[in-house]
Amino acid sequence: MEVDERVHILTESFEPFAPKAHPSDRLLDRYADRLCFDDCDPTQDRCPYLDELIANARADPLTVLAAADGSVPQSNQYQATSAAIIYKGHCELERTRYVSGRVTAPDAELNAIACTVRLAVKQANCQHIMVFTDSMGSAHRAVDPSVHSGQAFSLSVCCALQEWFEADDLRCITFVYVASALQWDIHGEAHQYITELKVRVGCHKTDNSKDALRS
């Protein structure tokens, strides 16, 4: 079925002229040096690298660790879910999980990343946020304010990070890729936490996204 035949059931809204999307006002235009994406090197043995990375981060009292994960059940009887877990050192600060509606896997991941960032920037005595995710595509989309599926989540990330960056010139954020299959450390914890949440699609109108209608 074509999207235009189903657009009446779309619950997502867009901002084609969002101020944060104006050239020179975009987060990547203003703070590119404070946004880092640690993608996977196919030649790299990722686990030892991640173990050393998180050990160093846990030893830094100014670093907040965050795990984001989204899940779309194989059965369309259940809603997609998103989760975020926040740590400093070995101390868990916050965790949350919730339904994301009928959306695609990248949408659910973007939702989780947005929640994670909003929670992380609220933590005291933090100059570095390290977000562990298995969807680097959604991580890049999180700081892209242009019109796309999940734009509202991206705009919330851009607003939160801009305010956070403006308050301290030393603040930065790193998005780190972790393959879901590794079940690694706090990201594995977030994955387990989210897969325990199963909520059926009810008779009421369920949130959905543009990309979900196209799939």
Q: What is the CATH number of domain 3-214?
A: 3.30.420.10
Query: Would you state the pLDDT for residue 9?
Result: 42
> With b meaning 16 or more CB within 10 Å and e meaning fewer, what string describes 106-127?
bbbbbbbbbbbbbbbbeeeebe
Percent of the chain with pLDDT over 90: 69
Q: In this structure, how many other beta carbons lie within 10 angstroms of the beta carbon of residue 38? A: 18
Q: With the C-alpha atoms ordered 69, 87, 163, 161, is the resulting torsion angle positive or negative?
A: negative
Structure tokens that stand for 63 in this block: 């670093």
CA-based nearest residue to 107, from 66, 162, 148: 148
Q: Render pLDDT for 146-202 as a digit per residue (tens, 0 to 9).
A: 877 888 999 999 999 999 999 999 999 999 999 999 999 999 999 999 999 998 887
CA-based nearest residue to 190, from 89, 75, 81: 81
195, containing H or E segment: helix 185-195
Structure tokens that stand for 126 in this block: 């933090």
**pLDDT band at residue 108 under the 50/70/90 scheme:** very high
Residue 112's identity, in one-letter code, is A
Helices (H), the chain: 27-31, 46-58, 105-120, 136-142, 151-166, 185-195, 210-214
Q: What is the chain's Cα-based Rg?
A: 17
Q: Render pLDDT for 59-107 as a digit per residue (tens, 0 to 9).
A: 999 999 999 999 998 888 899 999 999 999 999 999 999 998 888 999 9
